[in-house]
């Protein structure tokens, strides 16, 4: 009986503290489902926490870690990735509410958010730290442009779809020349995106590593490589096509010409995502990507 009373007291203190949590609500204006759910979640948040602000246009300019404890984001994985990248150094734990397709990073449904609201806002053990990449792109010796990638930096051959040659170095040491369709450099979070489709390894999100995966290499020896988080990866275009492109998270792109250099390293700040307490650790891998599913021998 004492245990039950004690647990009840703890739960009451959690509810009280969550009332003071400052929440900023974002939505994806291009998704009808997000717009429909936005007002519902906004009103629910206003009743159960402190609504620090809301913007259905996904504008993060008014958000800073000192002013906001959580971001509730209504959208899909692409929306979440774009917001995490836009936050830059000012990362705030994001509760992703999936109104998209897969929902691999955006783990919550609206009903699940309401059910677990106290935990999602009050339990910092649910906050997962995920690596980001800092990508520098220098056009043939010029001053580089800098950007971030949450999932990956991809170099793709592009039109006219001939094989390209990329010189790869790690920590300043030349490694190899890759001839093929391009190259993927990704975070553990991004290992289940383009990297997975290209035959790269699935990496647990908390692993301190960077994955390098050649795209359709014209060689039997160019296999995916996992390197330490501290590594700096340089890729120089030796021979490329007119349409060869550097693509960050499928959302930011640079045209790549001969002599251009891409430098990728671990960004000093992680992006923060809140895990759904209703789901076990490997839930999305096994239920959404069907990893390890046995064949149906009855068919």
Q: Would you say residue 298 lies in a domain?
A: no
Query: Residue 71 sits in a domain of what CATH number?
Result: 3.40.50.10330
pLDDT in tens, 109-122: 999 999 999 999 99
- pLDDT at site 298: 67
Q: How far apart are CA 170 and CA 222, in angstroms?
A: 15
Give me the catalytic one of 77, 181, 249, 260: 77
Mean pLDDT (the chain, rounded) = 91
Judgement on whether residues 13 and 64 belong to the same structural domain of the protein: yes
Judgement on whether residues 116 and 230 belong to the same structural domain of the protein: no
Judgement on whether residues 150 and 249 belong to the same structural domain of the protein: yes
Judgement on whether residues 55 and 178 belong to the same structural domain of the protein: no
- With residue 94 as reference, give the H or E element that holds it: strand 94-98
Cα-Cα-Cα-Cα dihedral sign, residues 150, 151, 156, 158: negative
Domain that holds residue 100: 2-130+271-287
**For 115, what's the count of Cα atoms within 13 Å in the CB-facing half-sphere?**
10
Judgement on whether residues 181 and 116 belong to the same structural domain of the protein: no
- Per DSSP bridges, beta strands 245-248 and 152-156 are antiparallel
pLDDT in tens, 259-269: 999 999 999 99
What phi-psi label fits residue 161: left (phi over 0), alpha (psi between -120 and 50 degrees) or beta? left
- What is the Rg, in whole angstroms, of the alpha carbon atoms belonging to the chain? 21
Judgement on whether residues 9 and 126 belong to the same structural domain of the protein: yes
**In the chain, how many domains are there?**
2
Judgement on whether residues 115 and 144 belong to the same structural domain of the protein: no
77 is catalytic: yes
In this predicted structure, the answer to whether residue 11 has a pLDDT above a threshold of 80 is no
pTM of the predicted model as reported, rounded to 2 decimal places: 0.90
Judgement on whether residues 234 and 275 belong to the same structural domain of the protein: no
User: Coil, helix or strand for 12?
Assistant: helix
Where do we find the tokens 């068919």?
299
Judgement on whether residues 278 and 189 belong to the same structural domain of the protein: no
Query: Residue 153 sits in a domain of what CATH number?
Result: 2.60.200.30
The 8-class DSSP code of residue 108 comes to B
More confident residue, 257 or 7: 257
Q: How far apart are CA 31 and CA 99, in angstroms?
A: 8
Judgement on whether residues 139 and 233 belong to the same structural domain of the protein: yes
Q: Would you say residue 294 lies in a domain?
A: no
């Amino acid at each position: 009986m004492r245990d039950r009373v004690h647990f009840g007291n703890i739960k009451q203190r959690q509810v009280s503290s969550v009332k003071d949590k400052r929440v900023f609500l974002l939505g994806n204006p291009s998704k009808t489902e997000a717009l429909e759910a936005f007002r519902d979640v906004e009103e629910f948040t206003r009743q159960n926490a402190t609504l620090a602000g809301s913007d259905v246009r996904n504008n993060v300019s008014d958000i800073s870690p000192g002013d906001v404890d959580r971001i509730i984001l209504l959208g899909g994985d692409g929306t979440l990735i774009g917001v995490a990248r836009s936050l830059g150094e000012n990362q705030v734990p994001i509760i992703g509410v999936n109104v998209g397709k897969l929902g691999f990073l955006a783990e919550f449904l609206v009903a699940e958010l309401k059910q677990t609201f106290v935990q999602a806002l009050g339990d910092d053990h649910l906050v997962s730290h995920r690596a980001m990449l800092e990508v520098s792109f220098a056009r043939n010796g010029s001053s580089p442009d800098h950007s971030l990638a949450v999932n990956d930096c991809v170099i793709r051959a592009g039109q006219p779809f001939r094989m390209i040659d990329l010189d790869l170095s790690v920590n300043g040491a030349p490694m190899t020349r890759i001839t093929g369709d391009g190259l993927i450099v990704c975070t553990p979070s991004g290992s289940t995106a383009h990297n997975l489709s290209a035959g790269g390894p699935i990496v647990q999100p908390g692993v301190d590593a960077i994955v390098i995966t050649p795209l359709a290499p014209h060689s039997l020896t160019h296999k995916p490589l996992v390197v330490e988080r501290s590594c700096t990866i340089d890729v120089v275009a030796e021979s490329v096509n007119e349409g060869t492109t550097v693509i960050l998270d499928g959302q930011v792109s640079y045209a790549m010409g001969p002599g251009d250099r891409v430098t990728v390293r671990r960004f000093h700040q992680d992006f923060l995502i809140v895990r759904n307490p209703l789901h076990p650790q490997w839930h999305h891998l096994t239920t959404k990507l069907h990893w390890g599913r046995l064949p149906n021998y009855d068919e």
